[in-house]
Every structure is written in C-alpha cells, then in structure tokens.
Chains A and B, each alone.
Chain A
Amino acid sequence: MSTDQALVQAQHLSVRYGARRAVDDISFTLPKGRVVGLLGHNGAGKTTLMKALVGLVKAEGQLSVLGRDPLRERVALLNEACYIPDVAILPRWIRVADLIRLMGGLHPRFSAERSRELLRRTSVDLTDKVGKLSKGMMVQAHLALIAAIDARLMILDEPTLGLDVLSRKAFYEMLIDEWCDGERSVVISTHQVEEIEALLSDVLMLNEGKLVLSISLEDMDRRFVALSHDAAVADEMAAAHPLLRYRVAGGSAALFDGAPPEHVQALGRRVRPSLVDLFVALTRKPELDRTQF
C-alpha cells in the first residue's frame, strides 16, 4: 500500500533495556481506518512497543508515526495521536471537573464539552475526587476523557482492565461509534482476546519481543485452516504437523498454517480458527523463534 496511506511504518524496530531486547527486530505497517489488536503474554513487549510508538522509549531501527519520528517530534506527535498507558493512573488528588479543564488546556484535540457529555452516561460525578473513585469508576472516567480526544491514532494499553461486562460492552460500543470512521486507527492491547476478536480488523502478535504474526483478520480466515475431527483420526492429523491440536465442543481440532494435503482435509470438517487458538498456537513454544511469516 502507498506510504501516505500508512499511519505507522516500522522497519527493524528494536528496543533494548540493557542487554535485553524487549522489542526485537519488528517490521510492520499500519494503514488508516483499522482496529489493530496487539496480543502477547505479559512481558512480550506490547507495552514497550506502544511506548516506542509515542517516543517514550528510545528505539533502534526506522519508525514513522503519522509521518513523524516519535523520539524527536514527541510533542507534535502527541497532538495528533493519543496514548493511554493505563486506564487507572489518573492523578488522585484532582477533581474530575478540574481534570477536564486541564486537559482542555493541554490537549488541542480534546473537547471538554464532549467529555462532560460522555461522563453523564457514567456513574461518575464532575465534583468527584479521582482518588475517591472505585477502580471501575476511575476507568470509566478515564475512558470518557479519552473518547473526547479527536486523534488520528489511538494507542490503548489494556483499556478494559478492571471493567465489568457492562462497562466493557459500553467501551466496545463507544469504540465502534466514535472511532471507526475509516480515517482513524486504533491499536489496542488486551487479554480479552475472545471478546475483542470481532472488533478487530488486524492483529499483531508478539512473543518474547518478536513479531510472530502480522495479519488482517480477513487474511487470517483464508490462510489458517482449522479441522475439527473425531478421535479416531487423531494420529493421522498429528502426522500432518499442525500448529496446534486442541479440544472443541464434541471432539478435537487441529490448526494448520496453510491448507494441509487433500486427504487430511477430508478427515475432518473445516471450522473457523479463533484468534485465541491461533494465539496459543503461535506463542506457546518460544524457542521455535518464528520470525514474521
């Protein structure tokens, strides 16, 4: 795709903490109008990658975010991109109304009016002190602030952590209503892989700092083949070297990268590989060291 379409371009990106590489030689492109899931175990490098995208850590390699070098043009970049490192780290001593006013003065794309409007739908009051809010309410307040920012790129690190089901649903609705306009892109890291799968358009999977998968969900459906089968043919399935074998309701299944031979396909019924299964398959054997497919 053309470079002016891409919001983020990373080439051989690495981030080192001393001798350890938290992000190891990653290359990917992020077009506009996408919702990208950043998946990985704890310590896989998701947070580090996000910090690199907004210039909060020093990175080697080439990185261009919204056409800028994050490290050198951090402030200019943050005017158009929005980074939420954690939804529970608002200053505790401040009142919500004052926080909205401060954000209005510090962030050019923040709409205080919109924020207050969104806050009305939550159980958080403008006069509440942030420190007195329960964790769930603080997250709601933070999300009401974020949603009022009209940025071209939103980078959120585990935004639904600590939210109950209803609040998560409200967040997903807000994501679709407010942010999926075809121009803006959203990068979300989360552990709720099953819930968020339907909302994603692309996925970046990290394992031990390396990018093990960078694919659109559309291509994922086409490329990976999951075959559900009876126990009787388990051995033949195993002989075809699937990525993963796992249980499904009523039997077993095998996951392949690319179509397995015809005779193997005939042994089972093709089903949709879920993102969770793919995630387990690609991140459970770190020593296999699969670089980008």
Chain B
Amino acid sequence: MNPILPLMQREWLQHRFAWALLALVPLGLALLALSFAQVGVGVDVDGDTITEVTDARMAPVFALGSMAAGSGLLFVILWVASLIIISGLARRDHGDRSVEFWMSLPVGHGTSLAVPLLVHLILVPAAALLIGLAGGWLLSAVLVGRVMGIAEWFTLPWGALLGAALAVAARLLAGLVLATLWIAPLVLLLILANAWFRRWGLVLLVVGIGIGGWVMDRAFGQPIVTDLVRDLLVNAGRALAGASGGGMVIGKDSEPDLVLGQVPGWAWQDFVAALRQLASPLLAGGLLFAAGCFALLVDWRRRGASAAA
C-alpha cells in the first residue's frame, strides 16, 4: 500500500484553507486596487519627467508585467509560508500528541518526513506560481482595460504573450527545483535545529552561524562559514532565474512581438546555464550535508521522538 498519496492528502487537508487565503487574498486585493484606484503607469524617460504611458504598443508589456507580478507575488508569499511551515516539521503534531497516532500507522519514518518536504518546498510554490500566473492574466484584463481600453486587451498578441509567459513559468518551475537543491542543507539544518532545540532552533542556528563565521573570519582568516552560506543562497537565486548572468536587452523601439518571441529562447538558455552550475563541489557537499541532516532527523524520530515531551 503506497502511503505517498495519502500523506500528500494529509498536507492538503491540513493546510488548504491557509493556502487558499494566502493565494486569493492578495489577488483579490490587487483586483480591488486595479479596479478602483487611480491606475496609470508612468515611465521615467529623462530623469525628471514622468510621462504617462498610454501607448497601445505597451499593452503587451502591461499584460506580461501583470502576469509576472501575480505569479511572482503568490510565489514569494507561499514559498515563505511554506518555509515557515516546513521549519517546524519535526515537532509538528507534538502539541496535541497526535504524533503518536501518526507513528502507530505503518508508514516509514523517512517517508513521513520526505513527503511534507516535497509538498511544501516544491509542490506548493509551484502551484502558487501557476495560480499567480492565471490570476495575473485575469488582472491584466483589468489593467489594460482601464489604461487603454478593453478592446486593446482582446487584440493582444496572445500567442506570443502566452508563449513568453509559459516559458518564463517553466523556467521558474525548473529553477525552483534546482534552487531547492541549493538551499537544502540550510533548510534541513533548520528543521534539525528545531527538532533538537524546539523554538530556539532558528535563534541558535543564526547565532551559531554568525559566531562561527565571525570566529573563522577573524581568528583564522578563513571566512568559510559565511562564504558557504552566502554562496549557497546566491546560487539558489541564480538557479531560480538569471543564471546566464544578464537579462534580455530590450531596445526602446523594438517591436513587442519580436521581443516576446525571444523570451522562450532566453528562458531555455538561462535554464541550461543553471544546469551547468549544478556541477559544483559546493552543491555536492551541500547535498551530502542535507542527506546527513535528514538521516539524523529520521534517527531522532525513530529513537522515540514521542518520548520527548
């Protein structure tokens, strides 16, 4: 009997209302804001004048921007929320002692820990990204409609637009997986710290890394600790987007259609660059470290985490 789907179902049952709230409220607020506020997009052209843009040619930019904003907003919100949820993974269910119930079921310790990690670190942010994209698409109708008139929205080059949007979404989704690999050691260390030290886990971790880093830097001249952490985070960011180092160059007079058409290509190349960056001893070490933390977590649970109050 495969417990993976039921375990995923458990996460859904437990968090669906929170997720729905975090996803729909921002979209709803954005919708209200766009519908009733004074909407205009200004562009700073010469440094001291803001000219309001109503040029219909900017419509695709607005649409894409709206989808990107929706997508990005929900992604960040739910990703942060997921990190908060997942940091307490080891000790959740301890409050009402229901952990003893879960441990009396025929599910391996490793599986019980791995499935929530998958759901919260990858599935939820991914879903948020896509829902944000869809939401942003709806919002783009309101935005474009109010600034340029709804007719403009319908005549947008949807083929190229959606192609670009989906390409970026795909890049971000793939980037999410890669970024998760990069930050895995940090996340698992945090979960482990919270397992051992309860709510002091994060504090101790930050202090520990801070002191450790300072000591290594000043006393030994080896800023290795802070460098490690910084490098991991930076690489994660690049894995998410921008691995190729630069954005696209958009000329002031270039045709939106053409520009849109180039986005998928750029996204693909960025992804390939991110893949190449995986071949790094830093990542290998980080994953090993993360695996070690995971093994310690499994052992902690097996040893009778239920014995601890």
Direct A–B touching, Cβ under 8 Å: yes
Mask: chain B, 68-112; 1 = CB below 8 Å from A; 0 = not: 000000000000000000000000010011101111111110000
Q: Tell whether A38 is near chain B: CB-to-CB under 8 Å.
A: no
Complex CA distance for A91 and B108, rounded to whole angstroms: 19
- State the CA gap A103–B10 with chains docked (Å): 10
Chain B residues, CB < 8 A from A57: 304, 307
Q: Given that A56-B304, A98-B13 are contacting pairs, would A91 and B103 also be in contact in the complex, using a CB cutoff of 8 Å? A: no
Number of residues on chain A facing chain B (CB within 8 A): 31
Scoring A residues 11 to 26 as 1 if CB is less than 8 Å from chain B, else 0, what string do you get? 0000001000000000
Which residues of chain B are near A108, meaning CB under 8 Å?
1, 106
With A94-B14, A105-B5, A105-B9 known as contacts, the answer to whether A89 contacts B96 (CB < 8 A) is yes
**Complex Cα spacing A108 to B106, Å:** 9
**Best-surrounded residue of A51, A79, A91 (most CB of chain B within 10 A):** A91
With an 8 Å Cβ cutoff, the count of chain B residues facing the other chain is 26
B106 near A75: Cβ-Cβ < 8 Å = yes
Q: Which residues of B contact A107 (CB under 8 A)?
A: 1, 105-106
Given contacts A75-B107, A94-B13, contact A17 B100 (CB under 8 A): no
Name the distance in Å between B122's Cβ and chain A's nearest Cβ.
21
Residue in B3, B7, B93, B104 whose CB lies within 8 Å of A91: B93
Which residues of chain A are within 8 angstroms of B9 by Cβ–Cβ distance?
101-102, 105
Q: Are A92 and B104 in contact (CB under 8 A)?
A: no
Of A80-88, A190-198, A241-249, A277-285, the stretch lying at the interface with chain B is A80-88
Is B303 among interface residues, defined by CB-CB distance under 8 A? yes
Cα distance A174–B14 when bound, in Å?
Answer: 32
Chain A residues whose CB sits within 8 angstroms of the CB of B98 once the complex forms: 89-92
Q: List 22 A-B contacts (CB under 8 A).
A: A17-B307, A56-B304, A58-B303, A76-B106, A79-B106, A85-B101, A89-B101, A91-B14, A91-B98, A93-B14, A94-B13, A98-B13, A101-B9, A102-B9, A102-B10, A103-B105, A105-B5, A105-B6, A105-B9, A107-B105, A107-B106, A108-B106
Q: A89-B101, A93-B14 are in contact. List 10 more A-B contacts (CB 8 A).
A: A58-B303, A76-B106, A86-B97, A89-B100, A91-B14, A91-B93, A91-B98, A98-B13, A105-B9, A106-B1
